[in-house]
Structure 1
C-alpha cells in the first residue's frame, strides 16, 4: 500500500489576516483530479469541446479552458497542458462524476482514450517556489518534467506537481524537504487572491464562462471556431448579454464561505439576492475572503452580507486583472 500521505503530515495553517504566507509550502491538492486524453484524435476532439484553442497550445505552456453544455453553461473549468503522449486536464474532483461522462460522450467517434487518472497532485507555493523548480527541473518552460514528476506553472508564486503514489514520497522529500506541508485551504487563498475561476459541483451548470472571468485569464478563444456552447459564449461577447462577473469580497465571518452559498447585496435600505460564492477562505482571526459571482454593474461602494450573519458587512476588493480584457 502507498503511504506517502501518512508518512508526511499535511496540516492546515492557522493564518490570521495579517500573517505573511510561507516562503515555501507543499500543498496536498487531494480535492483536485486529472483526466488524460491519449490518441491521434485527442487534439481535434478537445478543440471541439473546450473554450480554449487547443490547436495552438504549445508543449511548453498550459491554459485555462471551460467545458460547457449546449447552452453555454460551464460544467467545469480546466487547466490543459501536454502530458506524456497526450493531454492532461486538471479540474475539481467534485465535478468529475458528472463532467467526465459528458466529455466522453462523443469520443466513440474519435481515436482518443479519455481516462480519469490516479495521479497525485501537489502544489508548491511561496516566494521560493520558482527557484525550487528551477533547481530540480531543467529548462525555462511553464511545463517541465523529470523521471519523477511533471510540473506546471500557475503564476510567479505557484507550481502544480503531478506524480504517482509510488513517487510522491521521493518528490516531497527531494523537492522541498524544508517546506511547510499543508492542506488545500492555502491553495484556495492563493486562487482567491489571484481571482482564478473554478467550478465545483455546487456551481456546475450555473454560469457562462464570462460570468467567472474566464476570458480575463485567457481561457476563451473567440477565433477558434465551433465548440460545445460556442454560440452563447460568442453572443455574450459581441452582443453584451452577460451581466455578471466574478469579484473578490472580504468581510468578518466565523466560518468559511462555501461554493454555492448566496451573498445578499444592499439596494437602498433593502437587501436582495446578490451573488454566488465560487471559493472561500477563512482566517483564524475571523476575517474571510471569497470569490463571488455578482452583477457586473454594481456601484464601487456596494455592501454585501450573508443572510446567516446579517450584521457582518462585506465589500469588494480590487481584481488583479482587467475583467474586460480581450
Structure 2
C-alpha cells in the first residue's frame, strides 16, 4: 500500500489488511468515499501513445478521447484477456491505464514487449492515487473535487459510481475536502457496488481465462468492432459476427462459510467445470455476491454450485443491463 494511504488512513476505527480497507466507522453521509488502495495506474505517453494503444487494446481510443474513459482489454493472440484496464485520456499524448495492483507488473511487461517500436513509453505511476465515490451525492462531489484540483481524472461508471485519480501530493487536500461531504468506506463497499453494476475485473487467477465478450465487456463499449486491428482482434471479431457466445457473465449470490475468490471453479448439478468466478463482494454474514462466467445452458437449466455439485448453490440474479440476444444465436 502506498505510503500516503498508510498515513492518511491512520484514523480511529479504520483497519487495513493486505492492501485493503477492511473496517471503517459508520456514517450517515449520502456519499461514501472508498480509498482505491489495491489499484494503480500505468501511463503510456509519447507522440505515438494513441497509435500504439489503438493497435493493442480492444476499445476504441478515439472514443476514449471524446468520452474521457472506457474499459479496454489487452488480449493475447488467441483473444484471451491478459490485462484489463480502465483507459483514461490524461492528455493529448498520455493515457492512464488503471488496473489491479496485483496485475500491474505482468501487464506492464506485456506493454513493453510491444512498445519498443513505437514513439511511446509505458511506466508504472507511483505518484497517482485513486478514490471511489458511491451514493446519491457522488456526482456532485466529484464535480467539486475536479474543479478544485485541476489535473484530476474522473471515471464515471454511473452517477452513483465514480473514480477520481490525482497526484499523490494532492491526495491529502483532496481527501480533506471530500471528507467534509462523504464518509470513508471499506474496499468491499466499492467491490459490492461494482459487482451489482455488472462491471468485470481481472485478477491473477483469471488472467487469460476469458475473451472480452465472456465478461460482457462489449456492454461498456470496451470492445470496438469497427476500429480495425488490435492484438487478438480476429478471434474477438469472429465470435461477434460468425460465432456463438456460450459462456457469458452472470450475477449471482451464494451463502458459504469461506469466501469464494476470483477463479473459483463452478459446477452444475450434472456437470463439473461449467464456469468460474470473475469478481466477489461480501453482501451479508457469510453471503457473497459474485460475477461469474458460466456455460449458458447450464446456468439457465441447472443449479450452479461452488467448486463441485456438492458445494453451495448460487442464486442467480438479474444483471442491470441486457445482453444482445444475437450473441447467442448460431450464425452458421
Same fold (TM over 0.5): yes
Partner of 2:45: 38
Partner of 1:162: 165
Greater RCO, CA 8 A, separation 6+ = 1
Partner of 2:73: 66
Relative to structure 1, is the Cα distance of residues 45 and 299 closer, same or farther in structure 2, using a 3 angstrom cutoff? Answer: closer
The answer as to whether partners of 2:192 and 2:283 remain within 8 angstroms in 1 is no
Whether 1:248 aligns to 2:262 is no
Number of equivalent positions: 314
**How is 1:208-227 mapped onto 2 (pairs within 5 angstroms)?**
208-227=211-230
Relative to structure 1, is the Cα distance of residues 307 and 297 closer, same or farther in structure 2, using a 3 angstrom cutoff? Answer: closer
Q: Write out per-residue CA displacement over residues 131-172 of structure 1, whole angstroms, 9 at most, x where no aligned residue.
A: 21233334xxxxxx8337332212111211112332211111
TM-score (norm 2): 0.86
Equivalent of residue 112 in structure 2, options 104, 114, 135: 104
Relative to structure 1, is the Cα distance of residues 311 and 113 closer, same or farther in structure 2, using a 3 angstrom cutoff? Answer: closer
The answer as to whether partners of 2:267 and 2:309 remain within 8 angstroms in 1 is no
**2 CA distance for matches of 1:322 and 1:108?**
40
**How is 1:231-310 mapped onto 2 (pairs within 5 angstroms)?**
231-267=234-270, 271-298=271-298, 300=300, 302-307=302-307, 310=310
Kindly state the Cα deviation for residue 241 of structure 1 after the two structures are TM-superposed. Answer: 4.1
**2 CA distance for matches of 1:238 and 1:45?**
25
Q: Flag as ranges the 4+ runs of structure 1 deviating above 4 A.
A: 1-4, 19-22
Q: RMSD between aligned alpha carbons?
A: 2.6
The answer as to whether partners of 2:254 and 2:314 remain within 8 angstroms in 1 is yes
Greater helix content: 2
**2 CA distance for matches of 1:56 and 1:291?**
26
Partner of 2:145: 136
Kindly state the Cα deviation for residue 225 of structure 1 after the two structures are TM-superposed. Answer: 0.7
Kindly state the Cα deviation for residue 13 of structure 1 after the two structures are TM-superposed. Answer: 5.1
Structure 1: runs of 5 or more not aligned: 139-144
Instruction: Please state whether the residue corresponding to 1:109 is helix, strand or coil.
Output: coil
Q: Write out per-residue CA displacement over residues 214-263 of structure 1, whole angstroms, 9 at most, x where no aligned residue.
A: 11221111011111000100111112243211111112122322111112
Partner of 1:26: 33
Kindly state the Cα deviation for residue 213 of structure 1 after the two structures are TM-superposed. Answer: 0.8
Relative to structure 1, is the Cα distance of residues 248 and 40 closer, same or farther in structure 2, using a 3 angstrom cutoff? Answer: same
Query: Which stretch of the first structure deviates more once superposed, 168-177 or 220-229?
Result: 168-177
**2 CA distance for matches of 1:258 and 1:227?**
31
Structure 2: runs of 5 or more not aligned: 16-21, 328-332
The answer as to whether partners of 2:75 and 2:81 remain within 8 angstroms in 1 is yes
Whether 1:316 aligns to 2:316 is yes
TM-score (norm 1): 0.88
